[in-house]
Structure 1
Amino acid sequence: MPRRGGATKRSRAAHVAPGPCPVSSGAATPLSSALPSTYASETEYDGYDTESKLSLAALTLGGSIVNPPKPGRKKLKSFRFLDLPSELRLRVYDYHFAGVGEVLDLDPDNYKRIHRKLAILRTCRTVYREASYYFYSTFHVRIFPTNHGRFLKTKKPLLARMLPNQRALITTLQLRLGPGWSKPPRSWVVNPALGLSDCINVTKLAVYVECDPGMDYFEGFRQPDNFFERFSKTLFTDVLAEMPWVGHVEFDARPSVRKSGLLMRGLLEVVTARGLRITWGQERGWTDAEEVEKKPAPSFGAPLFVPQGSPSIMVVV
């Protein structure tokens, strides 16, 4: 006699669905399958466990997780600066270096005006070559520092602190005469350490005269025997001797300097003897014509000119 309940157990076992085929944990059976598995897969136990095992590239393949793109917003494309034509890149460098100033010299404000802008040179080799060439070939570099602070008597001018490849990119140097007219700094001397021989691309030498000690109001303060005039002429001659390829000299000065003065006449003699081309800066307004001396205005209290035959009356202003 069969045991009670045995048939029932066998009948139930006959109707049990067959077990699932073995699959890897990575290919979990979807929940919407037409033939669901009898045993729950790993994904069904923990839906976040599979995502935790994926790589970061797989998780971010469709977009950013932190800031997903908003619906309807276009994705911004990266801008390739080097795809621009070279003339447009030069315009960008022009805007970037705006505010540097026309002349480069040792100055306490260089960190604010220049140093931060030179960070563009660390971008890549192409930008380094282009931006370096634009920077050193556009601005004038002062040969001797004229800052009346700590840099006036420094032993290493800005030109001596540059690398040879940087000096080779310079196209214009400036010689400023006037500071130290009573006692020029000892470092104002042309020697190999200055690096003028590396400035192979310099085509123009700009000479700016701040003051002429030969003027009458320097009487009693200047050194005798035209000391500063002789010093300036010798210094100017030594600079040109180090760069025989220079063919253009531009003169400019402050309004009080006269072209007919002893200082300017000595400098012009050096340029004329070498057969160099002479141009004039905009500040002083000199031209190739002879300088016209302005008649001094009558001072207050001086008697005016009275023609002969008129009554002897002295008119005082």
Structure 2
Amino acid sequence: MTSSSSVTESSQHFRFFDLPSELRVTIHELILLLPNTVDLDPTNYQNIAPRLRLFLVSRRMHEEAYRTFYGGNTFRLFPLHGRFFHTKLPLLSRIPPRYRATMNTIELRLGPGWTAPPKGWVVDQHIGLSDARALRLLKIFVECDPASDDIFEGFRVGHDFYTIFCRGLVKKIYDYVPSLDEVQFNAYPSVPKNSPLMQALLREAAISKKRITWGLEGG
């Protein structure tokens, strides 16, 4: 006969690691995968930090959970929030190398700061991309192309300045991350595929022999 203390003890404990690995991964994904790109943001302590407490449960839980979080989410290369827009330490440089090594997807958002890109928007050895050996997908979202419309005349530094700057960024990304095999382009409807910036980025992807796909977020 089972004692009441045994029943109470068994009802208070659930042996998570007795579950099949596929089911554990599904549970991790429900908790750790986010609908939006992970970026430096003051609200991360509310939206993301509580989820990462799962890392602290045990060593085994940490090993499974961090691979799901960093391997399954999209991480923004350069921050957009005003508080971090000019930081010299973008998100990837703040993440330990062992976590960067499991990342699969990064996003580059182009358009913000087109009149004077932040000095921190530099792809070099300090950003940590060379550690991201599992990266396969680069998402590029173009918010605007200053060379595509006369409305930008009088505000841009030069007609081709931002196009050259952006093309240089993506070329450096390809150089540091040879594992990238797909580039997914997306843009607001105001940026056509034949705009100077889009054409320059497409040519660079073709030269680097990347598979080009198109996203639907911006229409």
TM-score, length basis structure 2: 0.92
Instruction: Identify which of 10, 16, 25 aligns with 1:90.
Output: 25
1:97 to partner: Cα distance = 2.5
1:174 to partner: Cα distance = 0.9
CA distance in 2, matches of 1:155, 1:79: 45
Letter of the aligned partner of 1:129 in structure 2? E
Deviations 1:112-152 (A, max 9, x none): 000111001011111111110000011111111111x1100
Whose helix proportion is higher, 1 or 2? 2
1:283 to partner: Cα distance = 2.0
1:265 aligns with 2:162: no
CA distance in 1, matches of 2:141, 2:18: 41
Deviations 1:77-114 (A, max 9, x none): 6321111111111121122236x433111001100000
CA distance in 1, matches of 2:166, 2:12: 59
* CA pair 243-212 structure 1, distance change in 2 beyond 3 A: same
1:178 to partner: Cα distance = 0.8
1:7 is matched with which residue? none
Letter of the aligned partner of 2:26 in structure 1? R
1:211 is matched with which residue? 144
Q: Residues 2-81 of structure 1 correspond to what in structure 2 (within 5 A)? A: 76=11, 78-81=13-16
Letter of the aligned partner of 1:240 in structure 2? Y
CA distance in 2, matches of 1:226, 1:144: 21
Instruction: Identify which of 139, 144, 158 aligns with 2:73.
Output: 139
Deviations 1:197-218 (A, max 9, x none): 0000001111111111122322
1:224 aligns with 2:147: no
1:169 is matched with which residue? 102
Aligned structure 1 segments of 4 or more residues deviating by more than 4 angstroms: none
Q: Residues 92-171 of structure 1 correspond to what in structure 2 (within 5 A)? A: 92-97=27-32, 100-147=34-81, 149-171=82-104
Q: Secondary structure at the match of 1:170?
A: coil
2:189 is matched with which residue? 255
1:191 to partner: Cα distance = 1.4
CA distance in 2, matches of 1:77, 1:194: 45
Q: Secondary structure at the match of 2:140?
A: strand
Instruction: Identify which of 163, 170, 173 aligns with 1:239.
Output: 173
Matched residues, number: 215
CA distance in 1, matches of 2:198, 2:159: 16
CA distance in 1, matches of 2:4, 2:208: 70
Q: Percent identity?
A: 42
Deviations 1:279-300 (A, max 9, x none): 0001244xxxxxxxxxxxxxxx
1:305 is matched with which residue? none
Q: Which runs of 5+ in 1 are unaligned?
A: 1-61, 286-317
CA distance in 2, matches of 1:205, 1:261: 20
CA distance in 1, matches of 2:210, 2:174: 10
2:217 is matched with which residue? 283
The structure showing larger relative contact order (alpha-carbon pairs under 8 Å, at least 6 residues apart) is 2
1:43 is matched with which residue? none
1:188 is matched with which residue? 121
1:63 to partner: Cα distance = 5.8
* CA pair 245-95 structure 1, distance change in 2 beyond 3 A: closer
